[in-house]
Each structure stands twice: as structure tokens, then as C-alpha cells.
Amino acid sequence: MHYPIKTIALAVGISIALSACVGIRPVAPSGTPMSRTSNLALGNPSGAGSNDPNNYLISRPQYVLSFSRDRGLANWVSWVLSPVWKGDARRTNDFRPDLSLPQGWYAAKPSDYTNTGFDRGHLCPSDDRDATPEDNAATFLLSNIVPQAPRHNREVWKNVEEYGRQLMEMGNDVFIIAGASGGGGTGQNGYATSLAGGKLTVPATLWKILVVVPRGTDATFMVTENTRVIAVNIPNTQAAADKPWRAYVTTVDALEQLTGYDFLSNVPTNVQRIIEARIDGGAS
């Protein structure tokens, strides 16, 4: 059937006017639902893969990480904290080299930390993975470990880790990304830039992002502009423990500027703009 052009134009104009009157607005894209069991649910912050030796992806059931051959450390580690991963398995203390690294790469040894004044500090914590002895042992692979000032590790960083588990006990799943940036930290024996004859970088700072998602029966979840996102950036020094962890809260935007990574990339961009600019001090 043929309609005159003027008639079509009039109909379109009336439709636009009616839409404005009733307050119809374009709907923002909701994004793809994210898996509650995926350690990379929020995205791959650095686009890690198999080609770049300083952004090398290692995926395990317990966590996923990006490894830097030149630094001898993980750039970041990503994991899910939920009751599925919690149990009564004992801490294994089985610090050992990660033999899954490509041939020819240096794999840190426990002795690399001996008498250095730095702890073997976890990124994905032992206590976040104690459902089975195998899960716990995976956290002691030295690719998940960084040289950490002892008081930083045992006090202020430990308190951040415990807060994440408190959030889980309050009925949430917590999606976590933690990493180490820069070079040069102050341990028990003073300032150092590297260990193991330069093979392991001592990071200048350790940072962490916690995304708090109320637990549900659905296999997927969505991050909204109301989702709690807690970010911290803590200098790798003994003195860092003189302050509570809340003194180091920051924004995801600030951590992106520090690292060059794109965090929460699986979240719709209109939501990212809101939650990545917000500071959450973890008061509740």
C-alpha cells in the first residue's frame, strides 16, 4: 500500500511528541550477565594472553592471573570469594615454584625470600581458598606471591582480606582483583628494589578491588550503579600498617591511571562511569 510522504512525516512527528509527553527515554544497554563462578567475571583487566611474556595469562580453577616474566611477579590476580570456596582445610604453607611457567622463565623459589626482610605475601589469600587441601595449596604457588613488607602483610593487608571474608559471611559473593605495581618497597631490613639477584621486583604498592554482589540463586549477576565497589592502594612499607586500611581507600579510576588497566570491562560503560569514580570506605 502506498502512503503519501507528508502523511508519514506527520505520523512520525506525532509519535515523537507523544513519547516526549509520557517521558519515554532510550534504555541504556544492560550488558551481558556475568557468571557467579567465573574468576574473570568482571573482565581481563590487561587483556592478558599467551603472546606477551609480561602479560602472560595463567588460569587455574582457584584464580586467574597475569604474570610478568621481567618482574618475576603477577601483575594481577582475579578470583571469586564465596562459600563454595570456604571450608576447614588446613593451611598448607607449601610455598613452591610455579612449574607451569614457560620453559626458560625464572620461577621464584622459597629461598629467594630468606633473610630479605620481606614476607612471601599472597595476592589471592590462603584463607579465601580452604575448601580442599588442593585449593589451599594452589595459593602457595610463588606466582601468586610478592615480596611484601612484613607489617603490611600481617596487619593492614590482612585486615583488607578479612573484611572481604566478612562481606561474604554477610550474604555476598565478592569478586576480587589484586595486584602489585611499581618498584621499591621498605621491608624489615630497609628499602629494596628487587630480590634474587634482580629476578624478583619488590613492588612499591599493593592494590585491591572488591566488588560486592548480594548472593542469589541465579547463576549470573549484574553490576549496577548501586553495587558496592571498594578499592585500596597501600604502599609496600612497614609504616603503612600505622594506619587502618580505610586510610588507603581510593577509586577504580585512580587504579586504572596507576596501572594502565581497564578494570570492570564486562560492566556496561554507563555503570562503570559511576562506580569507578566512587570512593567506598567500607564502613559497613
- Per-residue model confidence as pLDDT tens digits over 161-172: 999 999 999 999
Give how far Cα 239 sits from Cα of 8, 120, 143, 177, 279, Å. 72, 18, 26, 24, 23
* Cα–Cα dist 21/13, whole Å: 13
What is the pLDDT at residue 164? 98
Beta carbons of 66 and 151 less than 8 angstroms apart: no
pLDDT, residue 8, reads 36
- Output the pTM of the full model: 0.89
Q: Is 122 a catalytic residue?
A: yes
**Is residue 186 predicted with pLDDT exceeding 80?**
yes
Report whether 60 contacts 151 (CB < 8 A): no
CA–CA separation, 112 and 90 (whole Å) = 25
Task: Give residue 2's pLDDT.
Answer: 44
- What percent of the chain shows pLDDT beyond 70? 88
Whole-number Å distance between alpha carbons of 209 and 231: 4
Q: Check residue 30 and give its pLDDT.
A: 55
Confidence bin at 10 (pLDDT 50/70/90) = very low
**Residue 33, SS3?**
coil
> Active-site residue among 36, 60, 120, 122?
122
| Assigned C-alpha cell, 126 | 590462603
Instruction: Say what the pLDDT of residue 60 is.
Output: 98
